[in-house]
Chains A and B, each alone.
Chain A
Amino acid sequence: MLSLKRVKWIGAVLSIALLLSACSETNQGNSSNSSSAEDKPVTITVAMPNDQYQSLSELNERFQDQYPNIKIQFDAVPTDQYETLVNTKLASGDGPDLFNVNSGTKLDPLINSNNIMALNDESWVSRLSPSGLEAASRNGNVYALPGFQAIIGVVYNKQIFKELGLSIPQHWDEFLEVAQKIKDSGKIPLALGLRDAFVTQFIPYAMAPSAIYRDHANFDNEMYEGKQTFVGSPWEQMLADYLGLEEKGFFNDDVMGTGLDSMFQMMASGDAAMSVIVSPMIGAIRGMNPEIELGVFPLPYVKEGETIYVSTGTSNVFAVNANTKHPEAAKQYLDFLSQPDNMMVLIEGSLSAFVDVPSQADPAIMETEDAMKKGTYTMLDTIWPNTVQPTLFTAVQKVFTGQSIEAALKEMDDAFKRGIQ
């Protein structure tokens, strides 16, 4: 039975609990100092999606050893949630001091809302390669520290190719023949998992440079001017051929319900002979099967004798929050990362974006070096308005489940128009 005395006691406990919970606020916010002097101890907050640049924890230790007065609070956020989280924080004025950003047009919303600062005067800017500069700049200003350069290519199992006496196809009909031979031997020609929506873009991005931009470099500008649309362009043929691979049975069963990890597993176990992926993913496949012999060739979406252009893009590591209370510390951090020995650790296994940092990419990726010299085009989401890429994802999924290609492309056109309003 509750007596009044008991009640008062409970009330006291509650008040204490209230105080305790308010105090147990893990104090993760911006540190109390707002000075710019580097000597005072300072904590900077850094955010990164947890599937990228995984060597950062090691590099952060190195940095803190070198600069003992700067402490790094590093948050590796699950990739799906990364953008939502960072944007929500920025919107309420509580953004991290440094955060990972995408390239090209993806920087625009952050620039327009004054959330990231220009870094033109940093010493590492002059060391950037052209593709690095392209990824990190908008309107002539540099907004981020670039990291590694990636390509989209066909990763293939060398052992299977040897067994079946296959050579690397140089044009589309040869590619289809190779796929057919693999299929006849009982293996899966191409592993594809469209359940993870971002996988849908790999094949179209791989096709586009050869199909459109090699001969028509101005295509995107014309789209912005309203002179070109997805409908009535080579995109119709591209999607038809993409779907055609499915109709010929060259993909695994149930692509819609297959996830990225199943794709990797099929490659790693040798059930599938090829897969169109982004170069950093090779590491994941090797992780599942260290014995596997892999190679990469560019997707030969060309007629016989024509030149293949490769889809490539450089990713950015960090941009600096325009409202950071510790701009000097943040810039020092970026400078540290840009140093060749650190950058090499950062981009392990990939091509670099700095002229003085040698590429030590996976040997499989290096096989595409010659093709890349012949011609490349950037990954399309860095050029399009931000509304198009998510629409591409659903458009491909819909096409694969029976919707008409024209309707899908029209959705992409509508998204494009909405994005440039």
Chain B
Amino acid sequence: MKKYIVPAFFLLPALLVFTTFIIFPVIGSFYYSFTNWDGLSATPQFIGIKNFENLLHDETVWKSLGVTFQIAIILMLGQNVLGLALALGLQGSSWVQKVLRVWYMIPLMLSYVAISYIWNYMYDPRNGIINFLLRSVGLSNLTQDWLGNTDLAVYSVIFSIIWQSFALCMLIYVAGLQAIPKDLYEAANIDGAGKGRMFVNITFPLVAPAFTINMVVTMIFGLKIFDQIFIMTNGGPGGVTENLAMLLYRQAFTFRQMGYGSAIAIVMFLIILVVSLLQVIILRKREVEH
């Protein structure tokens, strides 16, 4: 018995806070997902699995599922490819590289509210900077309604998110790259390997732990994105930027279907769980192999 006191002492505060403020609310919303609560009445009515049945037949749910994955996957790929490419160029220790590494982190210091306002201004079709620049170099036929065009809107939002947060990903890659012993490259060079092969056989495999972390984290982050979409497009135009998080908010708070919204939240949680587990398993395996 005594040997449990010490671990308990260390664990208890965290367990208490975590359970109270995360687990209880999650259980609460499990409960609400089996009701038709409207968020206002004192007593929600139990309706069994009806919410989940409706969910399966709801077109908007399937559509937003697609949008969720679209956003998450492009975000994950975009951040990682860009992060790695930039890291390759910035892994050295010249002053230019040091300065750029710092400079690229500035967007991270801005809040989502600030980022959304900045990019709303950049993307505005009449007064925005992007179209202004295009017009002033004579490319006015390329001007677009960046946030209003249903084909472009998602990509515009995704780009602004990448713009803000790619630096974290990049820095992790820089650290990973810096950890690779230089003699490996020298040895390969002596053996006559070209730059492509060096990347494939040395860099990529050895940067695997950084790769794993980045992929998993950016994926989870991408699946849950809410604030930026909320402020920039509110799910519009016509629902093309509405991912599950936005749909959940709309159902729960705009349509006052708290029960239904909770059911969607449960589904979202399960998806994130499954995807993350799969990712970790696949990527860890790959890590070990190399």
Contacts and interface: CB of A to CB of B under 8 A. Distances in A.
A and B touching (Cβ–Cβ under 8 A)? yes
Interface of A: 80, 83-84, 87-88, 90-91, 109-110, 112-115, 194-195, 197, 252-259, 262, 386-387, 390, 394, 397-398, 400-403
Interface in B119-163: 120, 123-127, 145-150
B209 interface: no
Given A253-B126, A390-B255, A397-B237, 18 more contacts: A80-B234, A83-B253, A84-B253, A87-B40, A87-B253, A109-B38, A110-B40, A113-B40, A113-B41, A197-B236, A253-B125, A254-B148, A256-B236, A258-B124, A390-B254, A397-B236, A400-B237, A401-B150
A91 B145 contact: no
Interface string B16-40: 0000000000000000000000111
Contact of A195 (B39, B236, B239, B256): B236
Contacts of A114: 41-42
B147 A195 contact: yes
A257 B236 CA distance: 10
Contacts of B254: 83, 390
A256 B40 contact: no
B251 to A, nearest CB: 10
A195 B148 CA distance: 7
B238 interface: yes
18 contacts: A83-B254, A87-B256, A88-B39, A90-B40, A91-B39, A109-B256, A194-B148, A253-B145, A255-B148, A256-B150, A256-B236, A257-B124, A257-B146, A257-B148, A258-B125, A262-B124, A386-B255, A387-B255
B101 interface: no
A397 B236 CA distance: 8
A315 to B, nearest CB: 19
A394 B145 contact: no
B237 A194 contact: yes
Contacts of A402: 150
B224 interface: no
A197 B239 contact: no
A386 B125 contact: no
Interface string B233-259: 110111100000000001001111000
A115 to B, nearest CB: 6
A114 B148 CA distance: 41
Given A195-B236, A390-B250, A398-B238, A87 B148 contact: no
Contacts of A401: 150, 237-238
Contacts of A112: 40-41
A256 B253 contact: no
A200 to B, nearest CB: 10
B148 A403 contact: no
B10 to A, nearest CB: 14
A258 B148 contact: yes
Nearest to A266: B126
Given A87-B40, A258-B125, A403 B250 contact: no
Instruction: Give the interface centre of A88, A195, A253, A397 by most chain B CB atoms within 10 Å.
Output: A195
B127 A109 contact: no
Given A253-B145, A256-B148, A256-B149, A403 B238 contact: yes
Nearest to B252: A84
Question: Lowest 10 A-B CB distances belong to which pairs?
Answer: A257-B148, A256-B148, A254-B145, A254-B125, A257-B145, A113-B40, A397-B238, A113-B41, A398-B238, A401-B150
A81 to B, nearest CB: 9
Contacts of B234: 80, 197
A363 to B, nearest CB: 30
Contacts of B250: 390
A109 B37 CA distance: 11
A283 B124 CA distance: 24
B125 A257 contact: yes
Contacts of A262: 124, 126-127
Nearest to B40: A113
A194 B256 CA distance: 24
A366 to B, nearest CB: 32
Most buried by A among B145, B233, B234, B237: B237
Nearest to A386: B256
Contacts of A403: 238
Contacts of A90: 40
B38 A113 contact: yes
A311 B154 CA distance: 35
Contacts of B236: 195, 197, 256, 394, 397
Nearest to B123: A257
Contacts of A258: 124-126, 145, 148
A402 B150 CA distance: 10
B256 A398 contact: no
Nearest to B120: A259
Contacts of A83: 253-254
A253 B125 CA distance: 8
A112 B45 CA distance: 14
A394 B256 contact: no
Contact of B126 (A84, A194, A254): A254
B237 A195 contact: yes
Nearest to A401: B150
Given A84-B253, A195-B237, A256-B237, A115 B147 contact: no
A11 to B, nearest CB: 12
Nearest to B127: A262
Contacts of A259: 120, 124
Nearest to B38: A109
B154 to A, nearest CB: 13
A88 B42 CA distance: 12
A9 B157 CA distance: 48
Nearest to B233: A195
A193 to B, nearest CB: 9
Nearest to A396: B238
Contacts of B233: 195
A87 B40 CA distance: 7
A398 B59 CA distance: 14
